[in-house]
Structure 1
Amino acid sequence: MTTPTSDPTGLPGPTATLPGGGSIPLLGLGTWQSEGDDCYRSVLHALQVGYRHIDTATGYGNEDQVGRALADSGVPREDVFVTTKLPPDQVDDARAVLARSLDLLGTSYVDLWLIHWPPNGEARPDVWEHVLAARAEGQTRDAGVSNYSTAQVDELVSATGTAPAVNQVPWAPALHDAQFLAESRERGVVVEGYSPFKKTDMSDAVLREIARGHGVTPQQVVLRWHLEHGVVVIPKSVTPERIEANADVFGFALTPDEVRRVDGIAPA
Structure 2
Amino acid sequence: MTDISLNNGVTVPQLGFGVFQVPPEDTQRIVEDALAAGYRHIDTAAAYRNEAGVGAALAASGIPREDLFITTKLRNGDQGRAKDAYRDSLQALGLDFVDLYLIHWPVPSQELYVQAWKEMERLYAGKEIRAIGVSNFLADHLDTLLASSDVVPAVNQIELHPSYQQAELASKGRALGIAVEAYSPLGQGGDLKGNAVTAVAQAHDATAAQVVLAWHLAAGTIAIPKSADSARMRENFAASSLTLTDNEFSSITALERGARIGSDPAVAAFSQL
Could you tell me the TM-score, scaled by structure 2's length? 0.90
Deviation, 1:257, is 1.3
Deviation, 1:123, is 7.2
Residues 76-108 of structure 1 show CA distances to partners (whole Å, capped at 9, x for unaligned) of 111100000001111111111111100111111
Deviation, 1:197, is 2.1
Correspondent of 2:138 among 132, 136, 149: 149
Residue 120 (structure 2) pairs with residue 131 (structure 1): yes
Counterpart code for 1:211: A
Give yes or no for contact 2:165–2:256 (8 Å, CA) kept in 1. no
Counterpart code for 1:131: M
Residues 218-254 of structure 1 show CA distances to partners (whole Å, capped at 9, x for unaligned) of 1111100000000000001111111111101122201
Deviation, 1:34, is 0.8
Counterpart code for 1:14: T
Q: 1:165 to 1:266 in 2, by over 3 A?
A: closer
Aligned position for 2:238:
248
Deviation, 1:150, is 1.9
C-alpha distance in structure 2 between counterparts of 1:184 and 1:152, whole Å: 11
Deviation, 1:126, is 1.7
Give yes or no for contact 1:169–1:192 (8 Å, CA) kept in 2. yes
Counterpart code for 1:47: L
What SS is found at the alignment partner of 1:253? coil
Give yes or no for contact 1:123–1:148 (8 Å, CA) kept in 2. no
C-alpha distance in structure 1 between counterparts of 2:187 and 2:34, whole Å: 21
Aligned position for 1:239:
229
Matches within 5 A, 1:98-117: 98-117=86-105
Aligned position for 1:196:
185
Count of residues paired in the alignment: 256
Identify which range, 27-36 or 175-184, moves more after superposition.
Answer: 175-184
Matches within 5 A, 1:11-160: 13-121=1-109, 122=111, 124-160=113-149
Residue 221 (structure 2) pairs with residue 225 (structure 1): no
Counterpart code for 2:252: V
Residue 196 (structure 2) pairs with residue 206 (structure 1): yes
Give yes or no for contact 1:39–1:238 (8 Å, CA) kept in 2. no
Identity of aligned residues (%): 38
Identify which range, 143-152 or 155-164, moves more after superposition.
Answer: 155-164
Could you tell me the TM-score, scaled by structure 1's length? 0.91
C-alpha distance in structure 2 between counterparts of 1:20 and 1:141, whole Å: 9
C-alpha distance in structure 1 between counterparts of 2:191 and 2:69, whole Å: 30
Give yes or no for contact 1:195–1:234 (8 Å, CA) kept in 2. yes
C-alpha distance in structure 2 between counterparts of 1:91 and 1:123, whole Å: 6
Q: 1:190 to 1:266 in 2, by over 3 A?
A: closer
Q: 1:93 to 1:187 in 2, by over 3 A?
A: same
Identify which range, 226-235 or 169-178, moves more after superposition.
Answer: 169-178
C-alpha distance in structure 1 between counterparts of 2:129 and 2:118, whole Å: 13
C-alpha distance in structure 2 between counterparts of 1:171 and 1:205, whole Å: 19
Give yes or no for contact 1:123–1:155 (8 Å, CA) kept in 2. no
Give yes or no for contact 1:88–1:120 (8 Å, CA) kept in 2. no
Deviation, 1:182, is 1.8
Q: 1:50 to 1:93 in 2, by over 3 A?
A: same
Deviation, 1:20, is 3.5
